[in-house]
Amino acid sequence: MRLATEVENENKAAPSLLSADPIARTKPKQTHEIPHLENGAAEGPEYSALAARATNDAVRDWDVTSGRLIWPQGLENLLGYAPSAASPEIGFWQKHLHPEDRARTAASIRDALAAGDHWSGEYRLRRADGVYVLLLERACILRNEHAQAVRFVGSLMDITARKQLQDQLCRSQRMDAFGQLAAGVAHDFNNFLTTILGYSDLLLDELSSKGRVARHVTEIRGAAGRAAALTGQLLAFSRRQPLDPRVMEVNPLITHFESSLLRLLGEHISVECHLHRFKGSGHIKVDPGQLTQIMLNLVVNARDAMPKGGRLTLATDTLATGTLHIDGAQTEGQFSDLAPGDYISISVTDNGCGMSDEVKGRLFEPFFTTKDDHRGSGLGLATSYGIVRQSGGHIGVESALGQGTTVTIYLPQVPAPPPPAYKKPVGSKLPVGTETILVLEDDVSVRHISVRVLRSLGYEVMEAANGDDAKHLASTHSPRKIHLLLTDMVMPQMSGRHFADWLRVTNPETSVLFISGYLEESLHPSDRREDHEMFFLQKPFDAEQLARKVREVLDAQG
């Protein structure tokens, strides 16, 4: 054991940003016959016990008094450095610390050296290939008889993958919470918008769309329409928006989209298109309007990432999940939520400024934007994320600062559809009728405007605010049958679906038209959106949409 004065002199001379005079204690916690580092090797019987206390990943042994550092194990396996290439000084470790982690980690270790027997911390360390890995280090601190820290032995574990999974889980939970909030707000807001749109149409019809008052009403209706689009974005993000999916060929869709990009991008950005030649079906099932909106969001972001010009590339390809190959920039875990089958990918690539890891981690969060207040709402990519997931697909991002960005959408591949049947053109006048309709809606404003519009079209209309009132009306109605039930899907006490099931027992020929702000949460587990016998009208709706949908349902039942 060296003399205490020698230890004190070496403490003062240790050339390290971590060095600090440990606080002396009057009652030392532990006293050890501590082996020292001589010529890069550890001596003493205690060494094997210290190594056993470390993990099997990597071990660093730091003599605090002299600044000497050795790596008994794991240096090459974990970090890629040959033991002969590593400097035997603490500065080697400090040099490879991530600059953003140096001050925090150094302060934490200094505090532990001053008053502690153990230390644990996470930091990023640069491997020999230049890549930073996230490490978890657990260390024990050995002290002399004067309670001064003289040795620091730590085990280093690579937790990069675990941290990525934790971050992914946290983002997923945060997105789900945002989605629940957005869906609730949008559902209630759609009731207000349905009322505003409906009464605006009635006023415009009475005013014959002329005069100053009519112009004011038109502005009100326009604002309500824009608000309806915003609630649609919120519902799309939360994956509760009623989509209108259609089977369509992906290559013609991208070709048509490419031809309309020049005005949007400007002359300083060139556009390339690489379309895969599909051996079988090159079809996907998606809402075409929503897919176009997704593509616009991606293209606008790519344009903003290339303010001085650049190249934008649109590409399609096919991926079979059974033989899917993911390169080093991706991880197989991101596809774990996809159902088995074949997928078609649509990618948008730019050679712009790229994104940092922090921005990529928050890219799909609602209201997150790197643009100024006048250029972005932060809902574009959040909406895209929700639509793609609701369509059974996945959206992924590869980007690095200064190296551009690729956003790839994966959608299930489906068989080609049969040729479309001929449809008789629809006239511009609102369709009328004389059938009996029962309107079941708990929101009084939506119920009143729906009843008023239907009666103005010639229908006999009954109205009820809840399931019990509707049962009473249906039971006491005259022998004339109820031709159509128009009901909100989500209501307190008894849902519209449950009442429809009850009504069909006594009136099996009654058609049903469901209305709601979102559909999927209200369906039975066995229901499918593609069921042609299930008719649905999305809120908010106007008089024309209500009139045409009611007529469509009645005519479909003969």
Q: Please give, one letter per residue, the 3-state secondary structure of 139-207.
A: EEEEECCCCCEEEEEEEEEECHHHHHHHHHHHHHHHHHHHHHHHHHHHHHHHHHHHHHHHHHHHHHHHH
Angle 345-350-354 (CA atoms, 0-180°, nearest 5)? 110
What are the phi and psi torsion angles at 444 (to 5°)?
Answer: -65, -40
And the tokens for 305? 């990432």
- Report how far residue 100's alpha carbon sits from residue 117's, in angstroms, rounded to the nearest whole number: 26
Crossing angle of the two packed helices 380-390 and 211-237, in degrees rounded to 10:
60
Q: Does 240 have pLDDT greater than 60?
A: no
Per-residue pLDDT, 525: 44
> pLDDT tier at 203 (50, 70, 90 boundaries)?
confident
Per-residue pLDDT, 299: 86
And the tokens for 181? 């909030």
Per-residue pLDDT, 120: 93
Q: Where are the beta strands (DSSP E) in 177-309?
A: 246-249, 269-274, 283-286
Query: CB-based burial of residue 267 (10 Å sphere; 0-12 exposed, 13-18 middle, 19+ buried)?
Result: exposed
Q: Does 2 have pLDDT greater than 50?
A: no
471: helix, strand or coil: helix
Q: Does 543 have pLDDT greater than 50?
A: yes
Per-residue pLDDT, 233: 61
> pLDDT tier at 538 (50, 70, 90 boundaries)?
confident
Q: 376 to each of 96, 368, 379, 501, how far by Cα in Å?
A: 38, 9, 8, 45
> pLDDT tier at 243 (50, 70, 90 boundaries)?
low
pLDDT per position as a tens digit, 510-524: 899 998 765 544 454
Q: Does 262 have pLDDT greater than 80?
A: no
To the nearest 10°, the Cα dihedral for 262, 263, 265, 269? Answer: 50
Per-residue pLDDT, 522: 46
> pLDDT tier at 363 (50, 70, 90 boundaries)?
confident
Percent of the chain with pLDDT over 90: 16
The single-letter DSSP state of residue 238 is T
Query: CB-based burial of residue 406 (10 Å sphere; 0-12 exposed, 13-18 middle, 19+ buried)?
Result: middle
**Mean pLDDT along residues 170-185:** 64
Q: Which residue has the tokens 């008889």?
A: 145
> pLDDT tier at 273 (50, 70, 90 boundaries)?
confident
Q: Calculate the average pLDDT of the chain.
A: 76
Q: Does 45 have pLDDT greater than 60?
A: no
Per-residue pLDDT, 349: 92
Q: Are 171 and 361 in contact (CB under 8 A)?
A: yes
The number of angstroms, rounded, from the C-alpha of 276 to the middle of its chain's C-alpha atoms is: 27
Per-residue pLDDT, 82: 85
Q: Which residue has the tokens 């008894």?
A: 494
Per-residue pLDDT, 492: 76
The single-letter DSSP state of residue 481 is -
The residue with greater pLDDT, 252 or 170, is 252
- Helix H segments across 328-397? 357-361, 380-390
**Mean pLDDT along residues 180-195:** 73
Q: Which domains does the chain have, with CATH numbers?
A: 4-158 (3.30.450.20), 163-237 (1.10.287), 246-324+339-414 (3.30.565.10), 436-556 (3.40.50.2300)
**Mean pLDDT along residues 315-327:** 57
Q: Which residue has the tokens 């309670």?
A: 147
Per-residue pLDDT, 49: 44
**Mean pLDDT along residues 112-135:** 91
**Mean pLDDT along residues 418-440:** 74
The residue with greater pLDDT, 532 or 80, is 80
From 47-61, 133-147, 332-346, 535-549, the region with the lowest mean pLDDT = 47-61
The residue with greater pLDDT, 369 or 41, is 369
- Report how far residue 36's alpha carbon sits from residue 44's, in angstroms, rounded to the nearest whole number: 8
pLDDT per position as a tens digit, 470-499: 888 888 876 568 899 999 887 777 888 888
Per-residue pLDDT, 86: 76
pLDDT per position as a tens digit, 279-304: 767 888 888 777 877 888 888 888 88
Percent of the chain with pLDDT over 70: 70
And the tokens for 61? 């042994």
Per-residue pLDDT, 139: 92
Question: For the chain, what's the residue count?
Answer: 558
**Mean pLDDT along residues 320-343:** 57
The number of angstroms, rounded, from the C-alpha of 376 to the middle of its chain's C-alpha atoms is: 18
> pLDDT tier at 237 (50, 70, 90 boundaries)?
low
Strand partners, 248: 284
Q: Which residue has the tokens 């909100």?
A: 488
Q: 168 to each of 347, 394, 437, how far by Cα in Å?
A: 22, 14, 49
pLDDT per position as a tens digit, 50-67: 554 555 678 889 999 898
With residues binned 3-state (H G I as helix, E B as strand, rest as coil), the percentages for the chain, rounded to 5, are 40, 20, 35
Highest mean pLDDT among 32-36, 49-53, 92-96: 92-96
The residue with greater pLDDT, 28 or 411, is 411
The single-letter DSSP state of residue 469 is H
87: helix, strand or coil: coil
Question: 184 Cβ partners below 8 Å, 6+ apart?
Answer: none
From 66-70, 223-227, 545-549, the region with the lowest mean pLDDT = 223-227
Taking the chain, what is the end-to-end CA distance rounded to the nearest angstrom? 101
The residue with greater pLDDT, 378 or 308, is 308
Q: Does 445 have pLDDT greater than 80?
A: yes
Against a cut of 0.85, is the pTM above it? Answer: no
Per-residue pLDDT, 293: 77
